[in-house]
């Protein structure tokens, strides 16, 4: 079985374009996973402002023009790209929380909302980093709440 950590970002994207579905934690060692968030033009400033105030969870690596299918950093076709990866040393940074998961509203590490469950052994202290799925969920909720046309 192939080690997904050894895949290049292009190889990983090809798998997903071919129908693959899997969590991507641990894929493409040496590369930083990034998330593409596309919103209606009427929300672009609001999302950019949200990202500016939440750089750990939603680092802005690039901003495309309305209707564009590529950006300066990603020359591929964003309509078919599942994820956009790049080497960005400032992404995520230090943990946003150390210790009791309840401090973040997490009730059970064995049943995460996103990603893989983790085991915290005796003597270990949980560390939490910002995550890109949080701003995606917030943006989706905001679009629905504003009832903007797609």
What contacts 24+ positions apart, CB below 8 Å, involve 103-111?
A: 104/128
Q: What is the pLDDT of residue 83?
A: 42
Of 92, 76, 82, 98, whose CA–CA distance to 15 is shortest? 82
Q: What is the pLDDT of residues 118-131, one digit of tens each?
A: 788 887 777 776 67
Q: What is the pLDDT of residue 41?
A: 78
Low pLDDT (below 50) residues in the chain: 81-90
Two tokens at 144? 């629905």
Q: What is the pLDDT of residue 47?
A: 83
Q: What is the pLDDT of residue 19?
A: 77
Q: What is the pLDDT of residue 85?
A: 34
Q: Quote the pTM value.
A: 0.46
Q: What is the pLDDT of residue 3?
A: 92
Q: What is the pLDDT of residue 43?
A: 79
Helix or strand (DSSP H, E) at 34:
strand 32-34
Task: Classify the C-alpha dihedral 24-141-94-102 as positive or negative.
Answer: negative
Contact 128, 29 (CB under 8 A): no
> Tokens 């919103």 identify what position?
39
Two tokens at 55? 């750089």
Q: What is the pLDDT of residue 4?
A: 92
Q: What is the pLDDT of residues 20-36, one digit of tens each?
A: 777 777 889 888 777 77
Q: What is the pLDDT of residue 80?
A: 60
């Amino acid at each position: 079985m192939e080690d997904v950590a050894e895949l290049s970002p292009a190889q990983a994207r090809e798998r997903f374009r071919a129908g693959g579905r899997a969590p991507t934690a641990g894929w493409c060692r040496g590369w930083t996973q990034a998330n593409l968030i596309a919103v209606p033009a009427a929300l672009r400033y609001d999302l950019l402002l949200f990202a500016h105030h939440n750089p750990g969870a939603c680092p802005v690596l690039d901003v495309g023009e309305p209707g564009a299918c590529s950006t300066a950093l990603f020359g591929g076709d964003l309509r078919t790209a599942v994820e956009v990866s790049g080497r960005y040393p400032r992404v995520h940074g230090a943990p946003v929380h150390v210790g009791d998961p309840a401090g973040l509203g997490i009730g059970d590490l064995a049943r995460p909302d996103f990603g893989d469950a983790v085991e915290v052994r005796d003597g270990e202290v949980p560390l939490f980093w910002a995550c890109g799925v949080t701003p995606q969920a917030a943006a989706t909720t905001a679009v629905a709440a504003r009832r903007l046309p797609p």
